[in-house]
């Protein structure tokens, strides 16, 4: 039986929403294996002195490794 775990992340970028998504996956990949999908639930754009930065809330889904009975 496969088990899927979901965590929620907030990621940002000064460049684009796509870059914020890449940042989320890149950081999560440092400690999580088997990432299957990302669901963006919220997109924000912040304006500061005419400069725009982007933020996303997303849920990252990944498969949990199964251990054999001998482990």
Tens digits of residue pLDDT in 37-64: 999 999 999 999 999 999 999 999 999 9
CA distance 56 to 65: 28
CATH code, 3-64: 3.30.1660.10
Q: Let me know: does 63 contact 4? Beta carbons within 8 Å.
A: yes
Q: What Cα–Cα distance (Å) separates residue 56 from each residue in 1, 10, 33, 63?
A: 32, 6, 21, 22
Tens digit of pLDDT for each residue in 18-35? 999 999 999 999 999 999
Given this model, what pLDDT does residue 69 score?
57
User: pLDDT at position 41, please?
Assistant: 94
CB 35 within 8 A of CB 24: no
């Amino acid at each position: 039986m496969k088990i899927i775990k979901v965590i929620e992340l907030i990621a940002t970028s000064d460049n684009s929403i796509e870059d914020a998504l890449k940042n989320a996956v890149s950081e999560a990949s440092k400690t999580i294996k088997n990432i299957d999908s990302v669901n963006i639930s919220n997109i924000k754009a912040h304006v500061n002195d005419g400069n725009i930065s982007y933020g996303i809330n997303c849920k990252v889904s990944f498969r949990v490794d199964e251990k054999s009975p001998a482990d």
